[in-house]
Each structure stands twice: as C-alpha cells, then as structure tokens.
C-alpha cells in the first residue's frame, strides 16, 4: 500500500522512491502546471526554515495551489499553549495537505497519526527530513543516470548530520559503496555501520580527506563541520581546515563526479569550486522544488502522467 | 514438618515470585496495584537460595490479563508467576515482552514529542532478549538499563 504521509524516508520503498524521482523529472521538464488548482496546502513552520519553506511554497505555487500557514511558531497559537494536535486538526479542517516543520522529534509521525489529511515532514528536530533525502537522491539519479552501484563519498559531520544518515538509509536498496570521511569526534555512529553491514553495503572510513576518497567517488557529498558539535575546541581548531574542498583537489576525480551539499555551506566548499562543472549543489537545491511537487501530488493521488497526456490530446 | 512460609499463603489470586529486590515497587507500579482494593501482600528483601534476596507479591482474587502481566518483563523478565486457585498452583506463566509497549515507558529524549504533548508513548521492542526499545516517534533506542517508567 502506498504511504498516506511522508514522515520518514524509511516509509518509502524502492518502488515509491523511483516513482517520486521519475515524477520529479517530469516536473523539472515542465514545473508549471494546473495540478493543484482548487487545492490548499498548509505550511506549518513551528520552527523557521526559510529555504525549505520557500521551496515547498514555490512548488505549490507553480502547480496553482493555494497556501495557508505560518513561518514561525511565535505567530501561531502554539505560542498561546495550544497543543500540536489542535493546531494540526485546525489546519486539516482547511487544507488538503499539511507540510510541517517542528523542533520536536517525532512530531510529524504523531501529526500523521491524528491528521485526516496527508502530512509531509519538512524536518522534525534532529530526526528526519525526507524531502531533503529525496532531492539528494534525485540529484544523484539525474547526474549519474542511475542510483545503482555508485560510490558515494560523504565528508564532514557524519555523527550528527541528519541528511547524511537519511541518505545512507535512502540509498540502502541500490547497492552503494560509501566512503565516510570525518574527524574522530564526528565519525559515523556505530548504528549506521551495523546498518550497512546488515544490508551488505561496502564502506570505508577515512579520517583524512584523501585523494583516494575523492578520486574513487561518483558523488562527493560535503557537509558542514560545526564548531558547536565539538566538546574539545582544540580538536575543532585542528580539523576545521582539513575537510575543505578546493578546486584543485578535483583534478583527478572522475569526469562524471558531482559535488553535492545539503546547504547552507560555510567554508567547507571553497568558492573556487563553484565554477567547476562538477559542482552541483545549487542545482541540487533547486531540484528540491521538483521533488516536492512530486511528493505533494503523490500524496494527493494526483496522477502526473495522466494529466500530461490529457494536455497532449487537447493540443492535438 | 511444614516449611514456614515467608509470606502468607493465598487462597485465590496471583502470586509473583522471584522479583529482584530492587524491582518490587516497579512491578507494583506496572500492575497499578495501588489502584486495587483487593488484599495485597508485598514482601521485600526475603531470603532466596537462587537470588540472595528477592521480592514476592501476592494479590488475592485478582487474575491479570496477558497484556498486563507481560509489562513485568520490562523490569523483571525472570519472575515466576503463579495463578492460585484453592491454595493450589493452578497455572504457571512466563512473562514475555510484547512487540509494542504502549504508554508504560517514558521516552528518554527530552526533545521527543511524547514529552511535550499530552499523548501516549509507544515503543517497539527491537530486541526481546536484550530488552531494547525504540521510540515509535523520535526513533531513539533505549537499552534495558535506561528504561524509565511513566
């Protein structure tokens, strides 16, 4: 059965993921459609996240849907002490679908259990942000032509990075090989290593950002090493410049390599990489909009192909 | 010669034996015995050949549902649970952890929605032997030693 809401990337199986990515490709070819005409989407951002909210709202706007909601809990009744349940029930009275971001972990799962309309999790604390994973996977699919048998080098904060953990889970059924590049303090947690072992996924760990890790990769996934993650600031000072990608480090990389980053970036990708055709992080962020169009239509059971076909017929 | 009982015999009801001494009151709370009006005998720090010391709880005229007694497995998986009828052991039961535990355990993650919203907690038992739980909501895993009852 197709999931009713998107809370966790693990709720989507291989078929679901491929269906979303194929539909996202159709939206990328033609993002402006009438598919959400007469539909209302609530964007409930209990925690501000401008980038994610704009991406969702543009996705809906380009499909002619209408948007209600708030961009900060301070302007909603939760500041008066209203429970999450009541806020969700109210929004579900008015909207056909609810996109929510919340600082509490598990909030989206709970909302999906009480809401009569589909919920899209746009981030619940440190837990899940599944449309980020889908847009990462779409960018991989698009640039490599496949999701199968790719070598993905992930660099930076592998301990706390939510995007990293979800990417590992999302790619699990596509036989990836991972290179994990991180300082000791931010190493990939044991639970993801045992996850890889259970799934038969090959991986190597590096503490150095070595040419080997870059040159063997199809995808170089960079993340931010945040100062506040370190218990020992001396350690941070030691490693803060090690995990920075400079353009010359890409000179022996595969011609098909693409560099991704969930953004915002700070210093971990030097600006001299931006003009390299292998840099793909800005397009990756843009892909988020197409993926979100695909997710929203999928949850509302709007057939993307069918409508396109009707349009074609009309033209003829 | 008749062996002296450490706790008075039960005519009808449920006897829970071999409770680790430090878990007696957890069992009391798990079975919500404080809400019962039945006669209850609670014995703590009693001599035990097997365990050194142990606890015993006897509840007269009360027979628990499977779901209720399985809660005990969270804190004391090796208890002996006997159903007594007319002073005889009519049935012996093992306690086994259910697959899902609803509204008994508190989530250890302060940022979990269950600690911030009036709602029931829900845990999946991911390892029955090691007693490892995973919060259905925030997905955090909790080992046996860190289980806190609600």
Q: Which of A39, A43, A52, A143 is catalytic?
A: A52
* Nearest chain A residue to B121, by CA: A110
* A296: CB partners within 8 A, 6+ apart: A36, A41, A59, A60, A63, A65, A97, A99, A120
Nearest to B112 among A83, A105, A128 (CB): A105
Among chain B residues, the shortest Cα distance to A127 is held by B138
Q: How far is A109 from chain B (nearest CA, A)?
A: 6
Q: Per the structure block, which two tokens stand in for B38?
A: 């039945």
> The pTM is what?
0.87
Q: What is the nearest CA distance from B111 to chain A, expressed in angstroms?
A: 5
Are A9-128+288-315 and A131-284 equal in CATH topology? yes
Whether A85 sits inside 8 A of B139 (CB atoms) is no
pLDDT, position B90: 93
pLDDT at A261: 97
Residue B4 has pLDDT above 80, yes or no: no
CATH of domain B12-93: 3.30.70.140
pLDDT over threshold 70, residue B17: yes
pLDDT for res A71: 93
Return the pLDDT at A222.
97
pLDDT above 60 for A310: no
Please determine, for residue B36, whether its predicted confidence score (pLDDT) is greater than 80: yes
State chain A's mean pLDDT as an integer. Answer: 92
Query: Per residue in A191-227, pLDDT tens?
Result: 999 999 999 999 999 999 999 999 999 999 999 987 8
| Torsion, CA A160, CA A164, CA A170, CA A176, rounded to 10 | -130
Beta-sheet pairing, A151-155 with B100-102: unpaired
Do A244 and A267 meet the contact criterion of CB atoms below 8 Å apart?
Answer: yes
One-character DSSP codes across B17-73: EEEEGGGHHHHHHHTTGGG--S-EEEEEEEEETTTEEEEEEEEET----HHHHHGGG
Please check the confidence at residue A166 and state whether its pLDDT lies above 70. Answer: yes
Distance CA A183, CA A225 (A): 9
What's the confidence (pLDDT) of residue A292? 98
pLDDT number for residue A287: 97
Q: Is the pLDDT of residue B68 over 70?
A: yes
Beta strand extents in chain A (DSSP E only): 40-45, 66-70, 97-102, 119-124, 151-155, 177-181, 202-206, 219-222, 258-260
Q: Domain B100-149: which CATH class?
A: mainly beta
> What percent of chain A clears pLDDT 70, i.e. is strictly above it?
96
Q: Which residue blocks in A72-228 are alpha helix, DSSP H?
A: 84-94, 107-114, 130-144, 162-171, 190-199, 211-215
Q: What pLDDT was estimated at residue B133?
A: 96
The alpha carbon dihedral of B109, A13, A138, A120 has a sign of negative
Q: Higher-confidence residue: B115 or B69? A: B115
The pLDDT assigned to B117 comes to: 96
Instruction: Give the model's pLDDT for residue A311.
Output: 52
Q: Starting at the edge strand that comes first in sequence, how are the strands of the sheet with B141-142 ordered?
A: B100-102, B122-127, B132-135, B141-142
Average pLDDT over every residue of A166-190: 95
| pLDDT at residue A306 tops 60 | no
- Tokens 């993905």 correspond to what residue? A152
DSSP B75: T
A292: Cβ contacts below 8 Å, ≥ 6 apart? A55, A56, A59, A120, A131, A135
For residue A246, count CB atoms less than 10 angstroms from its CB and return exposed for 0-12, middle for 13-18, buried for 19 or more. exposed
Q: Residue A242 has what pLDDT?
A: 83
Indicate if the pLDDT at residue B8 is higher than 80: no
Chain A CB contacts of B137 below 8 Å: 105-107, 109-110
Integer CA distances (angstroms), A288 to A65, A173, A201, A297, B36, in order: 17, 22, 27, 14, 57
Is residue A106 less than 8 Å (CB to CB) from chain B? yes
Domain boundaries, chain A: 9-128+288-315, 131-284
For residue A45, give both structure tokens: 């951002």
Class of domain A131-284: alpha beta
**A59-68, B109-118, B126-135: least confident range:** B126-135
Strand partners, A97: A41
Are the C-beta atoms of residues B96 and B128 closer than 8 Å to each other?
yes
pLDDT of residue B3: 62
**Phi and psi angles of residue A37, each rounded to the nearest 5 degrees, phi first:** -60, 135
- Cα–Cα distance list, B81 to B17, B68, B97 (Å): 6, 12, 14
Query: The domain A9-128+288-315: what is its CATH number?
Result: 3.40.50.1370
Q: Which of A137-146, A212-221, A305-314 has the lowest mean pLDDT?
A: A305-314
Tell me: pLDDT of A256 over 90.
Answer: yes
| Boundaries of every domain in chain B | 12-93, 100-149
- CA–CA dist A215, A176 (Å, integer): 16
Pick from A83, A106, A107: CB nearest B135: A106
Residue A241 has pLDDT above 90, yes or no: no
Q: What is the mean pLDDT of residues B93-111?
A: 92
- Residue B56 pLDDT more than 80? yes
Quick check: A307 pLDDT over 70?
no
């Amino acid at each position: 059965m197709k999931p009713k809401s998107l809370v966790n990337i693990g709720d989507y199986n291989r078929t679901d993921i491929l269906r979303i990515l194929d539909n996202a490709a159709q939206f990328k070819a033609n993002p402006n459609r009438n598919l959400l005409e007469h539909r209302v989407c609530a964007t409930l951002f209990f925690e501000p996240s401008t980038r994610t909210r704009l991406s969702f709202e543009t996705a809906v706007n380009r499909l002619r849907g209408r948007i209600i909601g708030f961009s900060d809990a301070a302007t909603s009744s939760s500041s008066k002490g209203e429970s999450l349940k009541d806020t969700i029930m109210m929004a579900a009275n008015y909207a056909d679908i609810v996109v929510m971001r919340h600082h509490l972990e598990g909030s989206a799962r709970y909302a999906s259990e009480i809401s009569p309309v589909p919920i899209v999790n746009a981030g619940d604390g440190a837990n899940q942000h599944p449309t980020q994973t889908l847009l990462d996977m779409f960018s991989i699919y698009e640039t490599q032509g496949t999701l199968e048998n790719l070598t993905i080098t992930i660099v930076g904060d592998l301990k706390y990075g939510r995007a990293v953990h979800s990417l590992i889970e999302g790619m699990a059924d596509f036989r990836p090989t991972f290179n994990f590049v991180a300082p000791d303090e931010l190493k990939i947690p044991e639970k993801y290593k045992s996850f890889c072992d259970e799934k038969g996924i090959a991986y190597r760990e590096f503490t150095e950002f070595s040419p080997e890790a870059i040159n063997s990769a199809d995808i170089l996934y960079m993340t931010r090493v945040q100062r506040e993650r370190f218990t020992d600031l001396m350690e941070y000072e030691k490693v803060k410049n090690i995990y920075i990608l400079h353009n010359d480090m890409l000179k022996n990389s595969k011609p098909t390599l693409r560099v991704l980053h969930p953004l915002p970036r700070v210093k971990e990708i030097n600006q001299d990489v931006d003009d390299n055709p292998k840099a793909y992080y800005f397009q990756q962020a843009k892909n988020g909009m197409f993926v979100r169009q695909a997710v929203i239509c999928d949850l509302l059971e709007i057939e993307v192909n069918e409508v396109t076909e009707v349009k074609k017929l009309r033209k003829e | 010669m008749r062996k002296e009982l450490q706790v008075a015999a039960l005519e009808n009801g449920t006897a829970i034996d071999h409770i680790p001494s430090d878990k007696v009151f957890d069992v009391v709370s798990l079975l919500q015995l404080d809400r019962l009006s039945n006669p209850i005998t609670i014995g703590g720090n009693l001599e035990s050949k097997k365990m050194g010391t142990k606890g015993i709880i006897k509840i007269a005229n009360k027979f628990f549902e499977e779901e209720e007694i399985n809660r005990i497995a969270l804190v004391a998986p090796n208890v002996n649970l006997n159903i007594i009828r007319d002073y005889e052991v009519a049935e012996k039961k093992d306690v086994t952890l259910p697959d899902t535990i609803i509204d008994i355990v508190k989530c250890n993650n302060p940022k979990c929605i269950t600690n911030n919203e009036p709602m029931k907690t829900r845990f999946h038992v991911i390892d029955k032997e090691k007693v490892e739980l995973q919060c259905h909501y925030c997905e955090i895993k909790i080992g046996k030693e860190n289980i806190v009852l609600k």
